[in-house]
């Protein structure tokens, strides 16, 4: 399932969401301009490696991506879910929220894969936190979703609670099945942790779900 957009308009300009997308885009375009050797050196310096953890890389790795699909997928999810969560939290709080979720996701990945020497990069842990917040705040929203069916493609509206619930369950079981391995470098437990931290943040803050029909 590929999300295309949600149905909830925003009344405020999502300045932080757009800023994060721009920063990620600039970092990614810089990566693309490098030779393979230079990119490897950049990865060794700024990507997060659990077995030889440098604490600052928990943050710097959030602005690195391994390829176009990785980058575009993450930015699509941030764009779809970020603006509404930013509006509910406020710009400053949303920025703090984003980094807290990303750091928690990184730490979860390190905890579950302490001996891994694979470099980890990507904003997906922080974006999972945004999705967890959206799950709590807008369970009645609908996500316009592209669903490939063999050679056919359908575009349908899927309830947010279903779309995000399926996504979370897939990450959880993928993480459980990959425990004890590097799982091809995919940080499933980071996704799970980010989502849970995002959802718990909203629940603790006392903000209520908004019905949208």
100 C-beta neighbours (distance < 10 Å), count: 16
Contacts of 160 (CB under 8 A, 6+ apart): 6, 134, 135, 138, 139, 140, 141, 142, 143
> Has residue 185 got a pLDDT over 70?
no
206 confidence band (pLDDT: 50, 70, 90): confident
Helix or strand run (H / E) with residue 147: strand 142-149
184 confidence band (pLDDT: 50, 70, 90): very low
pLDDT given at position 188? 87
Strand partners, 159: 142
Residues of the chain with pLDDT > 90, as a percent, come to 77
Query: Angle at which helices 15-32 and 91-112 pack, to 10 degrees?
Result: 50
Model confidence over 117-156: pLDDT tens digits? Answer: 999 999 999 999 999 999 999 999 999 999 887 777 888 9
Which residue segments constitute the domains of the chain, with CATH numbers given?
2-205 (1.20.1540.10)
177 confidence band (pLDDT: 50, 70, 90): confident
20 confidence band (pLDDT: 50, 70, 90): very high
3-class secondary structure for 33-83? Answer: CCCHHHHHHHHHHHCECHHHCCCCHHHHHHHCCCCHHHHHHHHHHHHHHHH
């Amino acid at each position: 399932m590929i999300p295309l957009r949600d149905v909830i308009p925003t009344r405020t300009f999502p300045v932080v969401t757009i800023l994060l997308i721009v920063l990620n885009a600039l970092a990614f375009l810089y990566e693309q301009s490098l030779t393979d050797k230079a990119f490897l050196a950049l990865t060794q310096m700024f990507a997060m490696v659990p077995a030889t953890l440098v604490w600052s890389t928990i943050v710097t790795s959030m602005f690195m991506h391994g390829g176009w699909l990785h980058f575009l997928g993450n930015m699509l999810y941030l764009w779809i879910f970020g603006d509404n969560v930013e509006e509910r939290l406020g710009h400053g709080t949303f920025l703090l929220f984003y980094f807290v979720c990303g750091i928690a996701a990184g730490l979860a990945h390190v905890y579950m894969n302490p001996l891994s020497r694979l470099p980890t990069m990507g904003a997906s842990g922080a974006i999972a936190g945004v999705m967890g917040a959206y799950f709590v705040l807008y369970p009645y929203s609908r996500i316009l979703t592209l669903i490939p069916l063999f050679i056919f493609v359908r575009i349908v509206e899927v309830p947010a609670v279903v779309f995000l619930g399926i996504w979370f369950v897939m990450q959880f079981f993928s993480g459980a099945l990959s425990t004890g391995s590097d799982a091809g470098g995919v940080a499933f437990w980071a996704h799970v942790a980010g989502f849970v931290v995002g959802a718990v943040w909203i629940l603790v803050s006392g903000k209520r779900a908004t019905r949208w029909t």
